[in-house]
Structures are given as structure tokens and as C-alpha cells.
């Protein structure tokens, strides 16, 4: 696991290229040398149709991202991953940010393994690939 969830307002869909951002997010998480198991990485986006930004009088937009991870990573690893991800988000939306009112935000949610349930055979594929190298 980590799960990366992006919520974005539908008024930026045409320019946001969300699929490219999700791919970049996964590659970033993979690049952290085993901090996040590749087989557990999930990223997804939720396009919002019902929302109100600020006082609701303008066509404002927002993107809010959440990185959900299980406990056990060092503060340095968490900071490095989050700093990299948020910079990536800012870069991805830089052109759009210059053209319109846009709020970008991200949060980290870390939870204990107690109370989480997982059944995943994707990990085995990456363990097999690693041991064959």
C-alpha cells in the first residue's frame, strides 16, 4: 500500500491530463527504493461535479491529493516522498495555475495496520521479478 487519491474540480478536466499525473505519481513512489512496495501502489482520481470554492462567485478550481500509507516509514522517507509528490503536482499544474484561480493541496494520512484488510497477489509478481535479476 500506498494509495494516492486525487480529487479535482470538473472545470479543469480538459486541461488537467490526470492520467499522465497518475502515471508520474506511481513512478515517483516506485523510485523510493523499496519504501513503498510496487505491488501495493494504487493511484486514482475523482472528478468532482458538486463543489463550492471560496464564496462560489467565480469559476475557481481545486485539486486535493491524499497519500494514505501504513505506519512504519521513517519521518525522512515520508517527508522526501511527500515533498517530491507535491512538487510534481505543482509542476504538473503550473501552466493552468498561471491562467486561472486554482488551489492545490495534499495531505499524508498514516494509519496502523490494525483494522486494515488486504488480499493482494500483485506483490508476488514483483518479488519474482526482483529475484530473477
- 78-110 tens-digit pLDDT: 999 999 999 999 999 999 999 999 999 999 999
- Which residues in the chain belong to E strands, given as ranges? 3-9, 42-48, 61-70, 102-111
Strand partners, 5: 44, 66
Amino acid 101: pLDDT: 97
Q: Count CB neighbours of 29 within 10 A.
A: 23
**In CATH, what number is assigned to the domain containing residue 109?**
3.30.429.10
What is the spatial distance between Cα 32 and Cα 86, in angstroms, rounded to a whole number?
15
> In the numeric block, which cell numbers belong to residue 14?
480538459
* pLDDT digits 0-9 by tens, 15-60: 999 999 999 999 999 999 889 999 999 999 999 999 999 999 999 9
**pTM confidence score:** 0.86
Amino acid 131: pLDDT: 53
| Domains contained in the chain, number | 1
Amino acid 128: pLDDT: 65
Question: Among 106, 111, 42, 35, which Cα is nearest to 74's?
Answer: 35
What is the spatial distance between Cα 13 and Cα 24, in angstroms, rounded to a whole number?
17
Domain span at residue 41 reads 3-132
Active-site positions read 2
Amino acid at each position: 500500500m500506498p494509495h494516492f487519491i486525487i480529487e479535482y474540480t470538473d472545470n479543469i478536466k480538459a486541461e488537467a491530463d490526470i492520467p499522465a499525473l497518475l502515471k508520474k505519481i506511481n513512478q515517483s513512489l516506485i523510485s523510493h527504493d523499496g519504501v513503498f512496495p510496487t505491488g501495493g501502489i494504487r493511484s486514482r482520481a475523482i472528478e468532482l461535479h458538486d463543489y463550492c470554492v471560496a464564496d462560489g462567485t467565480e469559476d475557481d478550481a481545486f485539486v486535493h491529493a491524499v497519500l494514505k500509507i501504513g505506519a512504519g516509514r521513517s519521518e525522512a522517507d515520508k517527508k522526501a516522498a511527500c515533498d517530491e509528490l507535491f512538487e510534481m503536482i505543482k509542476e504538473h499544474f503550473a501552466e493552468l495555475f498561471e491562467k486561472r484561480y486554482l488551489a492545490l493541496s495534499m495531505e499524508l494520512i498514516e494509519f496502523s495496520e490494525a483494522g486494515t484488510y488486504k488480499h493482494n497477489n500483485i506483490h508476488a509478481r514483483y518479488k519474482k521479478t526482483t529475484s530473477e535479476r
